Amino acid sequence: MLVGRHSSVVQSSNRISRCLYELAARSQVSHSSWSSPTTSSSLTISRAASGSSTRWLTRQGRDPYTRASKLNALKSRAAFKLLEIDEKHHIFKPGQTVVDLGYAPGSWSQVAVSRVRPGGKGRGRVVGIDVIPAQPPKGVSTIQGDFLSPSIRQLVLEFVRDANAGRAIAHQSFARSGGNEDEVDEEPITEKTSDQEGDDQKQGRVVDVVLSDMMMNTSGNAFKDHAGSMDLCLAALSFSYDTLVSGGHFVCKYYQGGEEKDFETRLKTLFEKVHRIKPDSSRKESREAYFLGLRRKADTSKEIVFPP
């Protein structure tokens, strides 16, 4: 058992190293400045801590992804989930507009910034929305408010549809780093025609990637938590329908349960390819998983995705 656990930790360390190397390469940061976790750990726990707190702290101290996130100044271990998804499917590229729903504390936005490079030649931008006040990562524009509120959602729509909002004025040239073609999604990338681009502009579809890591406070009731996560997924999908460009991508966290199949069916009407993903960095005991919708179709009506 000890050997098996050691092997698992080493495999996790190798995956983290690959993700950090990819992040460093696309961020134009030397890989030598990133630190991968070791297989040993130490953690000082106060004697006054409760039993549940002690167990949580012990788990955090033993978790290689938590240690790696702290060593590399990432906002949280959740960064590795998005890094894994992008490492395989390459959803980001310089110059994109990315909207991160439920961005706090900001680890997914950190990954997005490293990919789309706000302030670079492509003038990418990352916009984060969350009801929780948080210090955003450098290069991220944020709106604090409840995304389910119609007024906040309208504010977000107006912001992303302003071509200059959230974009740096000064330009800086970056060398572009390619990915491993063997790990790119197997389906061919659909090139947008000028007609598609014009149609996107007319309909206010200006976002290239929508990320949703939104999650309500869990209750411990699996059915209730699943239903709540599906409501958030539907809100994120509705926003994506209104804002994603043709060929755009969608990533959404959900709690596994009975309604996920219906949501997957909706996604398949709007995207050319749909994946269910349980990243290696997601804890095995967690019910969380992710939907990935690749390449938004240009001509799907809203009534098909959201039947009356």
**What integer pLDDT is reported at residue 218 of this predicted model?**
73
**What integer pLDDT is reported at residue 263 of this predicted model?**
96
Output the CA–CA distances (angstroms, integers) from residue 61 to 40, 42, 44, 283, in the order listed. 10, 7, 9, 14
Domain assignment present for residue 186? The answer is no
Tell me how far apart the alpha carbons of residues 253 and 232 are, in angstroms, rounded to a whole number.
Answer: 9
Domain assignment present for residue 124? The answer is yes
Domain assignment present for residue 38? The answer is no
Q: What is the CATH number of the domain that holds 109?
A: 3.40.50.150
**What integer pLDDT is reported at residue 239 of this predicted model?**
96
**What integer pLDDT is reported at residue 296 of this predicted model?**
97
Indicate the pTM of the whole model.
0.74
Domain assignment present for residue 116? The answer is yes
Domain assignment present for residue 19? The answer is no
Domain assignment present for residue 173? The answer is no
Domain assignment present for residue 58? The answer is no
State the total domains in the chain.
Answer: 1
**What integer pLDDT is reported at residue 42 of this predicted model?**
34
Domain assignment present for residue 41? The answer is no
What is the chain's pLDDT, residue by residue, as a tens digit (308 residues)?
333 433 444 454 555 555 554 554 444 433 333 444 443 333 333 344 455 444 434 444 466 676 766 666 575 778 889 999 999 999 999 999 999 999 999 899 999 999 998 876 668 999 999 999 988 889 999 999 999 999 999 999 999 999 888 887 644 433 334 444 334 443 333 445 566 777 888 888 999 999 999 987 777 788 888 988 999 999 999 999 999 999 999 999 998 888 899 999 999 999 999 999 998 877 777 888 999 999 999 989 999 999 98
Q: Residue 132: which domain range?
A: 76-164+200-307
Catalytic positions: 253
